Amino acid sequence: MATPETKTTEQERPVQDGRAAEANDAAAEATASLGIEVGDTPYSLELSQDQKDIREWAHGFAEQVVRPAAHEWDEKEEFPWPVVQEAAKIGLYGFESIAQFWADPSGLTFPIVNEELFWGDAGIGMSIFGTTLAVAGIYGSGTPEQMVEWVPQCFGDEKDVKVGAFCASEPDAGSDVSGYRTTAKYDEGKDEWVINGQKAWATNGGIANVHVVIASVDRELGSRGHAAFVIPPGTKGCEQGAKVKKHGIRASHTADVHLDDCRVPGSCLLGGKEKLDERLAKAREGKSAKGQAAMRTFELSRPTVGAQAVGIARAAYEYALDYAKEREAFGRKIIENQAIAFALADIKMEIDAARLLVHRAAWMGKNGKDFEAAEGSMSKLKAGEVAVWVTERAIQILGGNGYSREFPVERMHRDAKIWTIFEGTSEIQRLVISRAISGVHIQ
Ligand SMILES: Cc1cc2nc3c(=O)[nH]c(=O)nc-3n(C[C@H](O)[C@H](O)[C@H](O)COP(=O)(O)OP(=O)(O)OC[C@H]3O[C@@H](n4cnc5c(N)ncnc54)[C@H](O)[C@@H]3O)c2cc1C
């Protein structure tokens, strides 16, 4: 299998080799490829042929490689390096392919690929696409030159696969980002930043080649005093802490990250010092920060996270539907009972509703629409809750077998739960939506 060909236009240029190009050209190319430009593509419910081809290709990998490996890696609770390498070999994992998915002017290709991969398995899916959290961190704050330098290093290549980690949460601060205690102090003499603190729950934390760390440069300013830093590979003082033993997505690696007098060059501050100083000065004067910009970054990433949950829900639904058509009780197939058939009808409807919200938000993000009702949060909230509900219903439809680890819906249910917790809990999504629709600072 190889990456399907996509049409090449000014707006959706596939990445050839950003590192080899002249610095300015490379930066411009990366900017375009990473999907920074916003377009005006009309919304359509009909997928293009390219999107259908990519969906089929990603589905093939999920079906033939990911799904057969799911049970084993869930039981082992280890990072599935060989599967990630397989994904890199076919071009599903890597800087170029991610850039190509993001470059789709409709915004739908990346969610579509995520849905298929997580349909295969959520733990392995997170192992393959967890790196995109770090990429989104670099993309959200970095200059084009920093993107060109660091994003490829998050992925490595098919012979030497690497991963990236995004480290924001701390043991005492997850939802409440203003509570981060990790600090970054500037050593002017050496033009270095010295980072100290502990990060918690980092996907790929400690095994990543590149860590993106959020640290406070001015604690008095709360979240407005935060900055994002790249920790280059092998930096002294950046170590993995305890690995988390989890309820679900057990193939994916989650761990604490300790930062002890971790020194990074001045150039590792994403966005650069000048921009940071300007931002801090504004915050100290009490001028309004770029609240909308920060909100927009989150709203942009949430549909993709929602698409992952849709993939899990769809996998459980398909399994339960097939099972209900086979399983007999009281001399008939269990699907012949309305209780089962209607449950499946509701499940299908909820999954489609979640996907529509995901696609709407993905299209809005790519086409520069204002998220006036926090549509990105809506998509993640709905999809996460649907995934938990559907997988629980699927267990019920399978009866005793549903509760057994020999049948996959048990794993899917454990996996689904994290989608109501990470990337903003369901309560935080409701907070964002209610504030957006009311204009009131709901507590
Ligand atoms: C498997 C996994 C992977 C993760 N990966 C990453 C990662 O890669 N990088 C990273 O930085 N973080 C990661 N996280 C952390 C995750 O983002 C946080 O766990 C999440 O944001 C919730 O924070 P918390 O755990 O501190 O919960 P808390 O913030 O302590 O919340 C506890 C409960 O209180 C509720 N609550 C809190 N405040 C309010 C409020 N104002 N109104 C109503 N309810 C409220 C919450 O909704 C929740 O139900 C990961 C977590 C897990 C479990």
Residue 13: Cβ-neighbour burial (10 angstroms; 0-12, 13-18, 19+): middle
- The alpha carbon torsion through 423, 425, 430, 436 (nearest 10 deg) reads -30
Best residue for ligand 1 mutational test, from 380, 425, 441 (most atoms within 8 Å of Cβ): 425
Between the CA of 346 and the centroid of ligand 1 the distance, in Å, is: 29
Entry pTM:
0.92
The atom number, within ligand 1, closest to the CA of 428 reads 47
Q: What is the CA radius of gyration of the chain?
A: 22
Q: How far is the CA of 11 from the centre of ligand 1 (A)?
A: 36
- Over range 348-357, report the average pLDDT: 98
Catalytic machinery residues:
423
Q: What is the residue-averaged pLDDT of the chain? A: 90
**Ligand 1 centroid vs 306 CA: distance in angstroms?**
16
Q: Give the span between the Cα atoms of 236 and 239, in whole angstroms.
A: 8
- Taking CA atoms only, the protein residue closest to ligand 1 atom 37 is 175
Query: Which residues have any ligand 1 atom within 6 Å of their CB?
Result: 133, 166-169, 174-176, 201-203, 246, 249, 254, 418, 421-422, 425, 427-428, 431
Q: What pLDDT, in 10s, does the model give residues 386-428?
A: 999 999 999 999 999 999 999 999 999 999 999 999 999 999 9
CA nearest ligand 1 atom 6, residue = 202
Written as one string, the DSSP assignment of 80-117 is -HHHHHHHHHTTSSSHHHHHHHHH-TTS-HHHHHHHHH
Atom 12 (ligand 1) nearest CA: 169
List the residue whose alpha carbon is closest to atom 24 of ligand 1. 174
Mutation to probe ligand 1, out of 163, 176, 201, 418 (largest number of atoms < 8 A from CB): 201
State phi, psi for 202 to the nearest 5 degrees: -80, 120
Q: What is the pLDDT of residues 88-124, one digit of tens each?
A: 999 999 999 999 999 999 999 999 999 999 999 999 9
Neighbouring residues of 278: CB distance < 8 A, sequence distance ≥ 6: none
Q: Which atom of ligand 1 is nearest to the CA of 130?
A: 8
Least confident of 5-14, 52-61, 78-87, 103-112: 5-14
Would you place residue 77 in the very low, low, confident or very high pLDDT band (cuts 50, 70, 90)? very high
